[in-house]
Structure 1
Amino acid sequence: MTPQEYDYLRDFLRGQSGLDLSDDKRYLVEARLGPVARRAGIADLSALIGALKLGGDMKLRTSVVEAMTTNESSFFRDRTPFDHFKDVIVPHMLQKRATKRGIKVWCAAASTGQEPYSLAISSREDSRLNAWHLDILATDIAETVMDRGKAGIYSQFEVQRGLPIQLLVKYFTQQGDMWELDPSIRRMVRWQKQNLLANFTALGRFDVVFCRNVLIYFDRPTKTEVLSRIADALEPDGYLILGAAETVVGLSDRFEAQPNCRGLYRPLPKSAVVPAMPGLRAVGQVA
């Protein structure tokens, strides 16, 4: 793979998924796309990139994007966001949504489903939410990982990562060396393919958006654009939850951080956004 071919692949992935590959990720490309080329009967990565340039093979293009996007996930990953949901978000919603008794949640880049299912299990375990409806939408760009999530079947290794033993026994049934999630929990989650680079206004508005460990793979302008559109998708008193290594600082002026709650943000009304002074950039505006 020549430097020019690597540059083409970087541009292709950025345009298709927002993934921003650095100069030192050639080893990752070779490790992940080598198997894609072999499955497609393509000789090597140079030939694979040549096929991408032709643009006609949509299955190949999808396979490349899915192979390069990171699908790391685990149950109750980085426990803090789920504590925020239980300790901060639920009390607020119990007060503000008492009439409709429902909470709409969007888990963006949901991968194989551990995050939305963790939320579903949490709500089932929370007696305050008895007779409430938690509407969870799980989206991802990769159909293959979503298919795994819809099935709700996980390996011993996957259920051991973050899932307390009492919840494993309560909500999973062992099938040989795999574990199947209770159908009542699976039914709490709706699945839909969604690229965060594409327009997502049709998804509706949400009380809570989980968008964790996604922005770190985007370049700065893409992060700013995605955050702006998430702000538009949130109810005025909604919440955004980002990953531990992510922030809106320097990227968006559409959110305010919640004190003492790492990764938790509230949307600001557009009227509260301070316009930039002439000759200056607004916070989050990219030159």
Structure 2
Amino acid sequence: MNESEFEFLRGFLKARSGLALPPEKRYLVESRLAPVCRNFQIADLAELIRSIRISRSLALESAVVDAMTTNETFFFRDKGPFDLFRDVLLPRYLTARTTTRQLRIWCAAASTGQEPYSLAMLLEDAVERTAGWKIDIVATDISTDVLNKAKAGLYNQFEVQRGLPIQLLLKHFTQVGDQWQISQKIRSRVSFQGLNLIKDFTALGIFDIIYCRNVLIYFDAATKSNVLARIANSLAADGSLILGAAETVLGLSDAFTPDPAHRGLYSKVFQAVETRPLSLQRATSR
């Protein structure tokens, strides 16, 4: 793969997924795309890139994006955001939404489902306090492969050992061969759907709580700003946004203010001006 081919791949990934692949990450390309070459019976990366340019195969393009997207996740990852939900956010909105008795939660870039299922298990523990409530957890991701795994709720031994307390494993999972499947009760609390964050997501509706953790770090500043502005439009006036530990809105968005008492928690400060998805911006600027 020569320099021009690498630059084409970088442009393709950014246009399709928002992923900003820095030059120093070139080493990732061969290791992650070699399996794609094998699966599609393509000789090498140069031929793979030629195929993307010429064939416009949606299956191949999706496979390349999936392979280059980082899907690192585990149950109760970083712990703090889940303690925050159980101890602060859930009590807050159970009080604030007593009239409607409805609560909507969005887990963006949910990968194989451990984040939304972790929230669902916390809600199951609070079942007495939430009796009679309609609580929706919507989980989205760009990758069809990880969404299929998330919907099945099947995890191997390594995956259930990462962050999942043993009492919750025994309570909510059943062993199936050498894997563990989360209960239908927990699975039924989460709805999964495909979604590309750089495209329009207004159809998802308005949410009270949005978890968008560890995905903005893969975007450039302009893409981060655009996504954050549109997230603000999808958040209730008193809604809460939770970002990853290495992420911030500072210098990127004026629509949120950090909560001084809780790291990674942001409140909406005003209704952001409607912002078009990047794909629509490019189309109208031609």
TM above 0.5:
yes
SS of match in other structure, 1:249? coil
Deviation at 1:168, TM superposition (A): 0.4
* d(CA) in 2 for partners of 1:222, 1:8: 19
Give the alignment of 1:22-101 within 5 angstroms: 22-101=22-101
Two-structure CA RMSD over aligned residues (Å): 1.2
- What residue identity is the alignment partner of 1:25? K
* d(CA) in 1 for partners of 2:5, 2:49: 7
CA contact 1:112–1:146 (8 Å) conserved in 2: yes
- What residue identity is the alignment partner of 2:218? Y
CA contact 1:74–1:158 (8 Å) conserved in 2: yes
Give the alignment of 1:90-239 within 5 angstroms: 90-126=90-126, 127-239=128-240
Corresponding pairs, count? 272
- Any idea what the Cα deviations from partners look like across 1:179-224, whole Å, max 9, x if unmatched? 0110011000011100001100011000011000000000000000
* d(CA) in 2 for partners of 1:137, 1:39: 31
| Length-normalised TM-score, structure 2 | 0.93
- What residue identity is the alignment partner of 2:143? A
Determine what percentage of the aligned residue pairs are the same residue: 55
* d(CA) in 2 for partners of 1:3, 1:26: 10
CA contact 1:117–1:186 (8 Å) conserved in 2: yes
Deviation at 1:102, TM superposition (A): 2.0
Deviation at 1:56, TM superposition (A): 2.1
Cα distance, 1:202–1:68 mapped onto 2, change above 3 Å: same
Which portions of structure 1, spanning 4 or more consecutive aligned residues, are displaced by more than 3 angstroms? none
Deviation at 1:258, TM superposition (A): 0.7
The gaps in structure 2 that reach 5 residues or longer are: 274-286
- What residue identity is the alignment partner of 1:223? K
Which moved further from structure 2: 136-145 or 85-94?
85-94
Deviation at 1:130, TM superposition (A): 3.3
| Length-normalised TM-score, structure 1 | 0.93
2:264 is matched with: 263
* d(CA) in 1 for partners of 2:54, 2:272: 46
Deviation at 1:132, TM superposition (A): 2.5
Deviation at 1:55, TM superposition (A): 4.5
- Any idea what the Cα deviations from partners look like across 1:255-286, whole Å, max 9, x if unmatched? 011112010001111489xxxxxxxxxxxxxx
- What residue identity is the alignment partner of 2:65? V
* d(CA) in 2 for partners of 1:172, 1:50: 45
CA contact 1:120–1:134 (8 Å) conserved in 2: no
SS of match in other structure, 1:24? helix
* d(CA) in 2 for partners of 1:56, 1:259: 48
2:8 is matched with: 8
SS of match in other structure, 2:76? coil
* d(CA) in 1 for partners of 2:190, 2:216: 23
Which moved further from structure 2: 128-137 or 217-226?
128-137
* d(CA) in 2 for partners of 1:73, 1:130: 30
SS of match in other structure, 1:104? strand
* d(CA) in 2 for partners of 1:85, 1:133: 17
